[in-house]
Structure 1
Amino acid sequence: MDGLITRLIEMRDEINNLMSRLKIDEKAAQISDIESQASAPTFWDDPEAAQQLMQKMSRLKAQVERWQKMHQRASDALELAELGDDMLDELTVETDALAAELDKMSLQAMLSGEYDDEDAILSIHAGAGGVDAQDWAEILERMYLRWMEQSGYKAEVIERSVGDEAGVKSVTIAVKGDYAYGYLQSEQGVHRLVRISPFDSNARRHTSFAKVELWPDIAEEIDIEIKETDIRVDVFRSSGPGGQSVNTTDSAVRITHLPTGLVVSSQNQKSQHQNKDRALQVLKARLFDLERQKQQQELAALKGENVDAGWGNQIRSYVMHPYQMVKDHRTNHETGQVNAVLDGRLDEFMEAYLRSKIVSTTNE
Structure 2
Amino acid sequence: MRAEAQASADQITAATQLLRRFLDWDRALKRMDELNDAAEDPTLWDNPKAAKALMRERGRLEEAIGATRKIEKELADTIELMEMAEAEGDDGLVEEAVTALEQLAERAEKDKVAALLAGEADSNNAYIEVHAGAGGTESQDWAEMLQRMYTRWAERRGMKVEVIDHHAGEQAGIKSATLLIKGENAYGYAKTESGVHRLVRISPYDSSARRHTSFSSVWVYPEIDDSIEVEINESDLRIDTYRASGAGGQHVNTTDSAVRITHIPTNIVVASQSGRSQHKNKAEALNMLKARLYEAELQRREEEANATNATKTDIGWGHQIRSYVLQPYQLVKDLRTGVTSTAPGDVLDGDLDKFMAAALSQRVTGEKVEIEDDDVE
* TM-score normalised by length of structure 2: 0.70
| Structure 1 position 140 matched with structure 2 position 146 | yes
Q: Which residue of 2 aligns with 1:300?
A: 307
| 1-structure distance, mates of 2:321, 2:102 | 37
Q: How does 1:192-203 map to 2 (within 5 A)?
A: 192-203=198-209
Aligned residue type for 2:346: A
How far 1:245 moved relative to its partner? 6.2
| Structure 1 position 315 matched with structure 2 position 312 | no
| 2-structure distance, mates of 1:350, 1:94 | 26
How far 1:354 moved relative to its partner? 2.3
Asked if the contact 2:194/2:315 (under 8 Å) is kept, the reply is: no
The C-alpha deviation readout for 1:294-322, integer Å capped at 9, x for no partner, is 452696389797968463x4111111111
| 1-structure distance, mates of 2:20, 2:366 | 21
Same amino acid, percent of matched pairs: 44
Change (3 A) 1:186 1:279: same
- The one of 174, 179, 191 equivalent to 1:173 is 179
Change (3 A) 1:156 1:327: same
The C-alpha deviation readout for 1:70-123, integer Å capped at 9, x for no partner, is 9899999x99x99xxxxx98x979887666434422321232333322221111
Q: Which residue of 1 aligns with 2:346?
A: 340
Q: Which residue of 2 aligns with 1:7?
A: none
Q: How does 1:53-202 map to 2 (within 5 A)?
A: 100-202=106-208
| 1-structure distance, mates of 2:317, 2:220 | 16
The alignment partner of 1:253 has SS state of: strand
Gaps of 5+ in 1: 1-10, 35-39, 44-48, 83-87
The C-alpha deviation readout for 1:203-234, integer Å capped at 9, x for no partner, is 22111100011112225333222122211222
- The one of 226, 232, 246 equivalent to 2:232 is 226
| 2-structure distance, mates of 1:323, 1:66 | 41
Aligned residue type for 1:114: E
- The one of 228, 238, 241 equivalent to 1:235 is 241
How far 1:171 moved relative to its partner? 0.8
| 2-structure distance, mates of 1:307, 1:67 | 29
| 2-structure distance, mates of 1:239, 1:175 | 21
The alignment partner of 1:221 has SS state of: coil
How far 1:325 moved relative to its partner? 1.0
Change (3 A) 1:281 1:100: same
Aligned residue type for 2:232: I
- The one of 277, 281, 288 equivalent to 1:275 is 281
The alignment partner of 1:351 has SS state of: helix
The alignment partner of 2:153 has SS state of: helix
How far 1:62 moved relative to its partner? 11
Asked if the contact 2:244/2:252 (under 8 Å) is kept, the reply is: yes
- The one of 280, 286, 294 equivalent to 2:292 is 286
| Structure 1 position 350 matched with structure 2 position 353 | no
Question: Number of residues paired by the alignment?
Answer: 342
How far 1:149 moved relative to its partner? 0.3
Q: Which residue of 2 aligns with 1:324?
A: 330
Change (3 A) 1:162 1:220: farther
| 2-structure distance, mates of 1:301, 1:233 | 40
The alignment partner of 1:326 has SS state of: strand
Q: Which shows bigger deviation, 249-258 or 148-157?
A: 249-258
| 2-structure distance, mates of 1:61, 1:301 | 30
Change (3 A) 1:301 1:237: farther
Q: Which shows bigger deviation, 98-107 or 180-189?
A: 98-107
Change (3 A) 1:225 1:354: closer
The alignment partner of 2:307 has SS state of: helix
How far 1:248 moved relative to its partner? 3.7
Aligned residue type for 2:154: M
Aligned residue type for 1:173: L
Asked if the contact 2:194/2:317 (under 8 Å) is kept, the reply is: no
Q: Which shows bigger deviation, 198-207 or 158-167?
A: 198-207
| 1-structure distance, mates of 2:194, 2:69 | 34
The alignment partner of 1:275 has SS state of: helix
| 2-structure distance, mates of 1:111, 1:69 | 14
The C-alpha deviation readout for 1:41-90, integer Å capped at 9, x for no partner, is xx9xxxxx9xxx9xx98xx98998899799899999x99x99xxxxx98x
Gaps of 5+ in 2: 1-11, 40-44, 82-91, 368-377
Asked if the contact 1:239/1:245 (under 8 Å) is kept, the reply is: no
Asked if the contact 1:320/1:338 (under 8 Å) is kept, the reply is: yes
* TM-score normalised by length of structure 1: 0.72
Asked if the contact 1:237/1:245 (under 8 Å) is kept, the reply is: no
Change (3 A) 1:307 1:180: closer
Asked if the contact 1:159/1:265 (under 8 Å) is kept, the reply is: yes
Asked if the contact 2:137/2:171 (under 8 Å) is kept, the reply is: yes
**Greater than 4 Å deviation, 4+ residue runs:** 17-27, 60-76, 91-100, 301-310
| 2-structure distance, mates of 1:255, 1:137 | 22
The alignment partner of 2:244 has SS state of: coil
Q: Which residue of 1 aligns with 2:9?
A: none
